[in-house]
Amino acid sequence: MLAGKRLTAVVPARGGSKGLPGKNLLVLGGETLVARAARLGRDCDAVDAVVVSSDDDAILASAKSVSGVVAARRPPALATDGAKTGDVVLHLLDDGEIAEGFVLLLQPTSPLRRLADLEALLQAFTRAEAPAIVSVVEHSEPRPEKLQRIVADRLVPYAGGGYEGPRQELPTPYALNGAFYLIDTTVLRATRSFLPPGTLAFVMPPERSANIDTPADWQVLQAMLAAGYWKIEP
């Protein structure tokens, strides 16, 4: 329970992935990424239930290998490239597979987050009055203010305005790292977004913010682990 409401962890893990085929079943520390995500939710005392949503038999089987985890088959319409995670969660709510209250999204592609991170995020959320909380990491380069786009072969500031001064004078930018999304289900129904106005930020360090979406991401992860710069929690 969280703030008197039921807390459900949802692990979204469809089978198709064009950027890195089979990414949710990659093995790290002796278990698949989807199993790691499900186990993290199960090991958190505040989490009442863990549900893995997938259209893939192998992913669902991996989810079932974690005791206490529910494997929910996703309909084909919600397993396409264009399907939104919010719609997947709302489908689970409408079908009664998860309860109203709070939903914690645990994407398999953030394998270096730790239980201590999750517990700190929940504590931060209960101390604040916010409709949602998401994890972020400090973004170094390229600086958003210096990004450009091309319009009719000409450079135009990507975000408008542009900036050519020293980076030290710029405000610190943050990027979503994909590790945690927590939201009240009533807010999700009303906004259909995991980032409603007033969302609280939970800052995580770079060494636990790896997000695996491409072959290069996976190779960098392996190299950083081998060099000892990053570590996986047992």
Q: Where are the beta strands (DSSP E) in the chain?
A: 7-12, 27-28, 31-32, 49-54, 69-73, 102-105, 132-138, 148-151, 154-157, 174-184, 200-204
For 39-70, what is each residue's pLDDT tens digit? Answer: 999 999 999 999 999 989 999 999 999 999 99
Alpha-carbon distance of 133 to 185, in angstroms, equals 13
At residue 169, the pLDDT reads 67
Alpha-carbon distance of 195 to 217, in angstroms, equals 25
Q: Which two tokens stand for residue 227?
A: 């060099």
**Residue 47 in contact with residue 9, Cβ under 8 Å?**
yes
Alpha-carbon distance of 21 to 228, in angstroms, equals 27
CA distances from 93 to 10, 146, 165, 211, 218 (A): 11, 42, 49, 27, 33
For 77-90, what is each residue's pLDDT tens digit? Answer: 888 877 889 989 99
Alpha-carbon distance of 51 to 41, in angstroms, equals 9
Res. 160: pLDDT tops 70: no
Residue 227's SS3 state is helix
Res. 164: pLDDT tops 80: no
